[in-house]
């Protein structure tokens, strides 16, 4: 009996020793020498592996940051300035400050604003839908509402509102990684500065059709009338192909264009309520963007 026990223990002991030696040798053979700073930088990074920086993941970003002579254009949008300054400190370099950005959906073709003229019955994906045809409304530039952006977002920051049919961005959660921008086949989503107190002014439309066609398809479409461009004191607005665009580097958030826009395609979000006009301004409540259901007659 005791010999069995001894034999068993001996056998297992020898086997264990043998395997540990093999493991050690293998580990030695395949060991990769790596700059210890890479690991250090990686530990500072948020570790979302979202690819928002344009690299294959956080490890690749850390590697490139360490290898590059200066941080330069490398920027982790998820970590933002705080993380970047930490990385810069760790590497003994100057941090590059960047304005925090957030995704903005440039279409408000909700069910109320834009009539659905047919019913899509394939796999629920904007990519499949846009490959097949122009879309389920008369506007072929607008949001398809199947939620590829929602699927692409790792931060739970963008959602299709089932009542409205277009996505909404949760600015607090959005890290501006750009995954939604890349996933949108219609190119509706844009990264714009978060703005002071999340205040933004932007053209919420991508329709480049002629005004009459746009108007027929959607009541909040940009008809390219150019009134906003005329009224803008900073020359921030350009109208090309019947579509206005506000350059956020020039815009000072004065909201003159917003007041001028006849179709309310220009949006001003998170501004305080302006007293004289408060009764007719449905979407100036703070925090979250509100639907524009009321301005059908506006």
Partner 1 sequence: MKKLIVSPAPHIHSKENTKSLMRDVMIALSPTVLVSIYFFGLSAIKLILVGVISCVLVEYLIQKYLLKTKVTINDYSAALTGVLLALNLPPSSPWWLILIGSIVAIGVAKMTFGGLGQNIFNPALVGRVFLLVSFPALMTDWSIPQSWFREGIDAVTGPTPLAMVKEGLLSGQTIPEIFAANSFTTKQMLFVKMGGSVGEISAVALVIGFIYLLIRRVIKPTIPVTIVCTVALISTVFYLVDPMQYTGPLFNVLTGGVLLGSIFMATDYVTSPMNTKGMIIYGIGIGIITVMIRYFGAYPEGMSFAILIMNATVPLLNKYCKPQRFGKEVK
Partner 2 sequence: MKTFKIGGVHPNDNKLTADSLIEVFPVLETAYISMAQHLGAPAKPVVEKGDKVKVGQVIGEPAGFISGYVHSSVSGTVKAVELMPDLAGNPVMHVVIEVEGDEWCEEIDRTPDIKRDIPYSSEEIIEKIKNGGIVGLGGAAFPTHVKLNPPKDKKAEFLILNGSECEPYVTADDRIMRERPEEILIGAVIMMKALNVTQAFVGIEVNKPQAIAAMKKAAADYPQIKIVVLKKKYPQGGEKQLIDAITGRRVPSMGLPIDVGVVVQNVGTSLAVYEAVQKNQPLIESAVTVTGHCVTEQRNFLLRVGTPFSRILDAVGGLPKDAAKFISGGPMMGKAVANIDASTLKGTSAFLLMTEEETKRKQESNCIRCAKCVEACPMGLEPYLLNKLCRAGNKYDELEKEKIYDCIECGCCLYTCPANIPLLDIIRMGKADVMKIIRNRPKK
Q: Which helix (H) or strand (E) holds 145?
A: none
Query: How is 247-271 classified by DSSP, letter by letter?
Result: -TTT-----HHHHH-SS--EEEESP
Closest to partner 2 by CB, 110 vs 183, is 183
Nearest approach in angstroms of CB 277 to partner 2 is 38
**Of these, 118, 241, 278, 280, which contacts partner 1 (CB under 8 A)?**
118
Which of partner 2, partner 1, none is residue 60 near (CB under 5 to 8 Å by kind)?
A: none
Nearest approach in angstroms of CB 151 to partner 2 is 9
**Of these, 28, 73, 123, 240, which contacts partner 2 (CB under 8 A)?**
123
**Of these, 135, 147, 167, 221, which contacts partner 2 (CB under 8 A)?**
135
Does 273 participate in binding partner 1 (rule CB under 8 A)? no
**Of these, 3, 4, 32, 121, which contacts partner 1 (CB under 8 A)?**
121
Check: CB of residue 83 under 8 Å from CB of residue 89.
no
Which of partner 2, partner 1, none is residue 116 near (CB under 5 to 8 Å by kind)?
A: partner 1
Which of partner 1, partner 2, none is residue 140 near (CB under 5 to 8 Å by kind)?
A: partner 2
Closest CA to 78 of 54, 104, 60: 54
Check: CB of residue 221 under 8 Å from CB of residue 207.
yes
Does 241 participate in binding partner 2 (rule CB under 8 A)? no
Q: What are phi and psi of 121, to 5 degrees?
A: -125, 15
CB-count exposure of residue 197 (10 Å: 0-12, 13-18, 19+): exposed
Closest to partner 2 by CB, 30 vs 123, is 123
CA–CA dist 205, 159 (Å, integer): 18
Check: CB of residue 200 under 8 Å from CB of residue 190.
no
Please report, as residue ranges, which positions from 127 to 156 form the binding site for partner 1 (by CB under 8 A).
128, 132-133, 136
Which of partner 2, partner 1, none is residue 127 near (CB under 5 to 8 Å by kind)?
A: partner 2
Closest to partner 2 by CB, 139 vs 222, is 139
Query: How is 163-229 classified by DSSP, letter by letter?
Result: TTSSEEE-TTT-----HHHHH-TT--EEEEE--GGG-EEEE-----S-HHHHHHHBTT------HHH
Closest CA to 108 of 51, 33, 164, 26: 164
Does 178 participate in binding partner 2 (rule CB under 8 A)? no
Residues at the site binding partner 2, with contacts judged by CB under 8 A: 118, 121-123, 125, 127-128, 131-135, 140
Q: Interface residues with partner 1 (CB under 8 A)?
A: 116-123, 128, 132-133, 136
């Amino acid at each position: 009996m005791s010999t069995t026990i001894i034999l068993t223990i001996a056998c297992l002991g020898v086997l264990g020793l043998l395997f540990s030696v093999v493991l050690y040798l293998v580990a030695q053979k395949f060991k990769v020498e790596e700059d210890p700073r890479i690991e250090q930088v990686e530990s500072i990074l948020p570790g979302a592996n979202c690819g928002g920086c344009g690299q294959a993941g956080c490890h690749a970003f850390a590697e490139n940051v360490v290898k590059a002579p200066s941080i330069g254009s490398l920027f982790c949008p998820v970590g933002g300035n705080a993380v970047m300054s930490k990385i810069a400190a760790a590497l003994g370099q100057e941090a590059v400050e960047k304005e925090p950005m957030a995704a903005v959906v440039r279409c408000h073709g909700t069910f109320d604003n834009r009539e659905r003229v047919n019913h899509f019955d394939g796999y629920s994906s904007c990519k499949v839908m846009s490959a097949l045809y122009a879309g389920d409304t008369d506007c072929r530039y607008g949001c398809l509402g199947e939620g590829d952006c929602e699927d692409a977002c790792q931060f739970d920051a963008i959602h299709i509102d089932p009542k409205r049919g277009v996505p909404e961005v949760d600015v607090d959660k959005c890290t501006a990684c750009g995954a939604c921008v890349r996933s949108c086949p219609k190119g509706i989503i844009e990264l714009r500065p978060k703005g002071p107190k999340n205040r933004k002014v932007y053209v919420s439309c991508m329709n480049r059709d002629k005004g009459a066609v746009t108007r027929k398809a959607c009541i909040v479409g940009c008809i390219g009338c150019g009134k906003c461009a005329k009224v803008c004191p900073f020359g921030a607005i350009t109208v090309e192909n019947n579509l206005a665009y506000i350059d956020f580097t020039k815009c000072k958030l004065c909201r003159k264009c917003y007041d001028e826009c006849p179709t309310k395609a220009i949006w001003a979000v998170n501004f305080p309520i302006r007293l004289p006009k408060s009764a007719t301004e449905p979407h100036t409540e703070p925090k979250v963007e509100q639907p524009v259901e009321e301005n059908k007659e506006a």
